[in-house]
Amino acid sequence: MFTPVILAGGNGSRLWPLSRQSFPKQFLALDGQDQGTMFQRTLARLQGLEHSPAMVVSNENHRFIVAEQLRVAKMTSRRIILEPLARNTAPAIALAALEATADGSDPILLVLAADHHIDNEDSFREAVSVAQVHAAAGRLVTFGITPTHAETGFGYIQCGAAVEQGGFDIAAFKEKPSQVLAEEYLSSGVYLWNSGMFMFRASVFLAEMQQYRPDILAACRVALEHAQADSHFLHVQAEQFALCADESVDYAVMEHTNAGLVVPLDAGWNDLGSWSAIWDVGPHDANANRLEGDVIAIDTRNCLVQSHHRLVATVGLEDLIVIETKDAVLVANKHDSQQVKDVVKRLQAEEREEFVSHPLVNRPWGHYDTVDKGERYQVKRISVLPGECLSLQLHYHRAEHWIVVSGTAKVICGDKELILSENQSTYIPLGVKHSLANPGKVPLELIEVQSGVYLGEDDIVRFEDRYGRLAK
């Protein structure tokens, strides 16, 4: 028996425009297979292994996405730990290990990133079973990927002596190499790619953290002692957690420990860290293209083309990435796809909305999609899940007009309560407390027309909210 720890706090900036700050890549279905999002598939591939409910470590801003994706996939979690800010993998795993041992137990933890692609899940499960034996014996196990080519974008693990029951002692960790060095690593046959997946007993990891990075462990311990828990989430205290160094578990522990061990994994692994990696995992047509959505490709080869909202036609292209979303289009050379992160940095510096979110924004009660907007108006399509409701709120700078398209709406506007059905509407004046709920059994769909001098999402004053979003 072991406890999975799913690290789901990444940004996925190199997969813009599909991956955004408010909805990063781990919560998307990226590998062309209709089997759920990357996060959901990470959990699903554990089927057949004896394990307890997973612990999830994610960003505070993504808490409702995590909860909803678990609900949709009918999966349970032992605890959803929410980081108030990103601090890399060493603090994230330390939080999970401390929380896992808080009740006096000492489980074996299987630490997995939420955004990895694995073709051969049987081979993955076999490697986990091998790693579990070593973890039970007190080893800190990492999974090394059998290299298929001289990759310069990954770190490497040099294998030492073979150990009984499978695996190798770790001779050294190597940084991302040059092309020449990568080719030497590949031809030597003693190097594996560093996957960033681990397995160890919680107490053993905490002891190594205490030895090598007691500062990080102390900050995490105090941040957890002052954390706030509710029915679904554990909100880590921000001030103390901010004192943690931004450090990977490799730098903090694995490169120093004498208990390290690597288990080889040959399972069609890919970390899906760029659009060229998305092209790699296929499927491909006869011209080595990966085409998704409404795409017409003429004389096009070795390309990745995705259409999410409209027809995309290509003529005479080769080795290109073309990604179409509702509000942005990316065109890049496939060999330069790592540089997409520079576009994201530019968007962030210019404070553009395209850095943060898509026009369709998920909320714990459902979602909204921006249809049109101008200087003093904005039109949204709002969908509220059955039994859910928006907070009791008011706006100082805008009024709203709601038109029900389908379903039933329960509206509170000032001291009035209304029940609206299809084709009925109501008006919410500026400065009036109001709320919207779906009392029915089917989704509520409505059109919202906003008008006013300022239409930003921060013009919301909440008075009651079942999702814990009141200002503190």
- In this predicted model, what pLDDT tens digit does every residue of 74-98 receive, in sequence order? 888 888 999 999 999 999 999 999 9
pLDDT for residue 32 = 59
Mark the ranges of the chain whose per-residue pLDDT is less than 70.
31-34, 470-472
Task: State the amino acid at position 88 in one-letter form.
Answer: N
Q: Cβ neighbours of residue 36 under 8 Å, at least 6 residues apart?
A: 29, 44, 73
CB 83 within 8 A of CB 94: no
Burial of 18 (0-12, 13-18, 19+ CB in 10 A): buried
pLDDT for residue 457 = 87
Local structure of 28: helix, strand or coil: coil
CA nearest 447: which of 355, 351, 369, 359? 369
Domains contained in the chain, CATH given: 3-270 (3.90.550.10), 275-341 (no CATH), 360-464 (2.60.120.10)
Confidence (pTM): 0.88
pLDDT for residue 219 = 95
- In this predicted model, what pLDDT tens digit does every residue of 404-432 receive, in sequence order? 999 999 999 999 999 999 999 999 999 99
CB 156 within 8 A of CB 193: yes
pLDDT for residue 472 = 44
CB 86 within 8 A of CB 243: no
Task: State the amino acid at position 298 in one-letter form.
Answer: I
What are the angstrom distances between the C-alpha of 70 and each of 37, 73, 201, 415? 11, 5, 25, 37
pLDDT for residue 33 = 59
Render 60-72 in DSSP notation, one character per residue: GGGHHHHHHHHHH
CA 74, CA 79: separation in Å to the nearest integer? Answer: 15
